[in-house]
Amino acid sequence: MKFLLNLCLLATISHAALSQQKPVGVFDGQNDIGSVLHTGSTVYKAATQTYELSGSGTNIWAKQDEFHFVWKRIKGDFILYVRANFVGKGVDPHRKIGWMARTSLEANAPHISAAVHGDGLTSLQFRRTAGGETEENRAAITHADIVQLERRNNTFTMRVAKFGEPFQTREVTDVTLGDDLYVGLFISAHNKDVVEKAIYEDVRISVPVSPDEKPGRMNLASRLEILDVTTGKRSVIHTAPNSIQAPNWTSDSKTLIYNGGGLIHAFNVASRQEKMLNTGDVKNNNNDHVLSFGGKMLGLSSDDKERGGSIIYTVPTSGGKPKQITPKGPSYLHGWSPDGKDLVFCGARNNEYDVYKIPANGGEEIRLTDAKGLDDGPEYTPDGKYIYFNSNRTGTMQIWRMKPDGSQQEAVTDGEFHDWFAHISPDGKWMVFLSFLKDEVTAGDHPAYKHVYLRLMPVSGGKPTVIAYIYGGQGTINTPSWSPDSKRVAFVSNTDVSVISPADVASK
């Protein structure tokens, strides 16, 4: 009886400890797991959206664990992303950081983790049963600082990279942990007498679209993010419970223009306030909207079934009555000429999608491409010498460029991925574009809710580097979204609304 009373007392204490937890950023609470000698901690810095973890503990291995853990309860599938680095040289080469999902906060609980060791070893580690031995699936890469852990039912996938490089993947398909898990970041010193520290940046907890969802529907929540292209640092500046898409940066750097629910919204970056932009009776706007180089005019693409699909309009950036430009659809706007005289768009004519040019005040369409397949996403360079676009004429979607009259068409990416929507920086030096994985999409498709990269490449040529690893796709960066100083890019990532929290958004 005394033994049972003690168990009940321990359970009561454990429940009380959990009930007293205070949120830490996007997480529900934090705990030291196992009999650690030194108390660990997690500090969230809202201004930079970073987490600083410190922790002791002997290891996360064998039949039980000792470490510090900041966690969130999640039921079902998830995608966890972070950019993580140790602080200092450390003591033991097998100190560990990364993502973990575990069934409980007990030291011997079943779990799975994407772990990076102090000596660079990167591994998908898992314990199938309580008190069971820990197993692992090692990655070929070492010293990864980009760590992603994804769950789809009983399949767990670790994606890891050194920042700038594509992911390397490890996967296990038969680890059964149950539906409701503790999910979060961890640190273990691998030495009971030592406290180690690590910094976790760009933390994203996402719940992906249900596999039962009808294809083509875009009903997940949205995170509006700003990316520093030099450092790769990301900040969430706004969240929405619905789909918002394709942010354009105004020429004064103060506002981001995006679509949502068929309407055009203007988001003030400083005040974090959103307002609707007046577009008259044109209220079925899609994500192909573009600001003119001077910033005074906004081009719209609005769906109109009676006219054959998307129709292009122009309207003052301050709002007003739109002027119809294309007589028929589908017509998807992607670029203005620097002098403001012409628009370039993707048009479907006679069952073939090609790049067209049309006067900004309306007039005759001029067909610029005629290759079989899909030619899309045309955009002028700031000096007006080239139009960049994407084409799957080779069987792979690649970035191409041509002269404004359609001559000298040439590919500029190598076809490693399916590349879409090249955007040239205002200073004319850089190109950012969206890359889909070939094992997830076909060459002619750019759906929402996929694993995608934003890649950066010099306009003069060279090897592209990954500057953002995103759960998104359609609507992420369809149209130009460089800041006027060529230092930042705005984009949209996605998640189910259930894990959106105020801590997703940076302080002003």
Domain ranges of the chain: 27-206, 221-504
Secondary structure, 3-state, 291-349: ECCCCCEEEEEEEEHHHCEEEEEEEECCCCCCEECCCCCCEEEEEECCCCCEEEEEEEE
pLDDT tens per residue across span 49-59: 999 999 999 99
Greatest extent of the chain over all pairs of C-alpha atoms, in Å: 91
Residues 93-103, mean pLDDT to the nearest whole number: 98
| DSSP helix/strand/coil, 17 | helix
Residues 240-249, mean pLDDT to the nearest whole number: 98
pLDDT at 18 over 90: no
Residues 332-348, mean pLDDT to the nearest whole number: 98
pLDDT at 4 over 80: no
May I ask the CATH class of domain 27-206? mainly beta
CA–CA dist 347, 357 (Å, integer) = 10
Judge contact between 186 and 68, C-beta under 8 A: yes
Q: What is the pTM of this model?
A: 0.95
DSSP 473: -
Domains 27-206 and 221-504 equal at CATH topology level: no
pLDDT tens per residue across span 471-490: 999 999 999 999 999 999 99
Secondary structure, 3-state, 487-508: CEEEEEEEECHHHCCHHHCCCC
Residue 126, burial from CB neighbour count under 10 angstroms (0-12, 13-18, 19+): buried
- For residue 199, the model assigns a pLDDT of 98
Tell me the two tokens of residue 270: 């400083």
- For residue 6, the model assigns a pLDDT of 43
pLDDT tens per residue across span 260-275: 999 999 999 999 999 9
Q: Locate all alpha helices (DSSP H) within 134-285, ordered by sequence.
A: none
Residues for the chain: how many in total? 508
Fold for 221-504, please state it.
Neuraminidase (2.120.10)
Q: What is the mean pLDDT of the chain?
A: 95
- For residue 214, the model assigns a pLDDT of 87
CA–CA dist 477, 482 (Å, integer) = 10
Can you name the residues that pair with 258 across neighbouring β-strands? Answer: 265
- Sheet hosting strand 155-161, strand order edge to edge: 41-45, 50-55, 196-206, 78-87, 146-152, 155-161, 168-172
Distances 226 to 30, 111, 234 between C-alpha atoms, Å: 28, 33, 6
**Lowest-pLDDT range of 17-26, 264-273, 371-380, 402-411:** 17-26
pLDDT at 9 over 70: no
pLDDT tens per residue across span 413-459: 999 999 999 999 999 999 999 999 999 999 999 999 999 999 999 99
* Percent of residues, the chain, with pLDDT higher than 70: 96
pLDDT at 20 over 70: no
Residues 351-376, mean pLDDT to the nearest whole number: 97
- For residue 287, the model assigns a pLDDT of 98
pLDDT tens per residue across span 250-263: 999 999 999 999 99
Tell me the two tokens of residue 228: 């520093």
DSSP 272: T
The one-letter code for the residue type at 499 is V
CA–CA dist 188, 201 (Å, integer) = 18
Residue with tokens 């004064």: 252
Nearest in space to 147 (alpha carbons), one of 174, 120, 182: 120
